[in-house]
Amino acid sequence: MIRIEEYIETIYKLSKNRRVKVKDICEHLNLSPSTVSEMIKKLKNLGYIEHEKYGEIRLTEKGENLAKRLDRKHTILKEFFIFLGIDEKTADEDACKIEHIISEKTISKIEEFLKKMKEG
């Protein structure tokens, strides 16, 4: 099952280049329109997006904040994995999986570690 956070990330990434519609999310996540429409209703009810039927999907401030936190975690994890000698493709894939479960405390410590390694 594709999680709420994956939808939020998808909307965030797609909205950088264009207006996002249900069909865009379907194509990006390789899901049926009914599956995506169901999750869109849920995301709207949870306050993560604004959406009128058949219209553009936009992240709310709450949704954008979540997307930015996930993007930050992904970037830090990917950088860390590359630092460890993992190839970029694998680092990106693993970061995508782990970003959803890693705590803010742990990601902050990894970020501190990377900064120290760059400095010295």
Q: What is the C-alpha to C-alpha distance for residues 28 and 62, in angstroms, rounded to an integer?
A: 22
Q: What is the pLDDT of residues 18-55, one digit of tens each?
A: 999 999 999 999 999 999 999 999 999 999 999 988 89
pLDDT at 72 over 70: yes
pLDDT at 1 over 70: no
Residue with the two structure tokens 């996930």: 70
Averaged pLDDT, 99-112: 96
Cα distance between residue 15 and residue 63, in whole Å: 12
What is the CATH code for 68-119?
1.10.60
User: Could you say which of 2.60.410.10, 2.40.30.10, 3.40.50.2020, 1.10.10.10 is the CATH number of the domain covering 4-59?
Assistant: 1.10.10.10
In the chain, where are the structural domains located? 4-59, 68-119
Place of tokens 């390694």: 117
Let me know if the fold of 4-59 is the same as that of 68-119: no
Q: What is the mean pLDDT of residues 87-99?
A: 96
Mean pLDDT, rounded, for 62-68:
97
> Phi, psi (5° rounding) for residue 57?
-105, 125
Burial class (CB in 10 A: 0-12, 13-18, 19+), 48: buried
Distance CA 92, CA 99 (A): 10
Tens digit of each residue's pLDDT (9 = 90 or more) over 2-17: 689 999 999 999 999 8
d(CA 119, CA 117): 5
As a whole-number percent, the residues of the chain with pLDDT over 70 amount to 98
Using the Cα atoms of residue 90, residue 26, residue 43 and residue 34 in order, give the sign of their dihedral.
negative
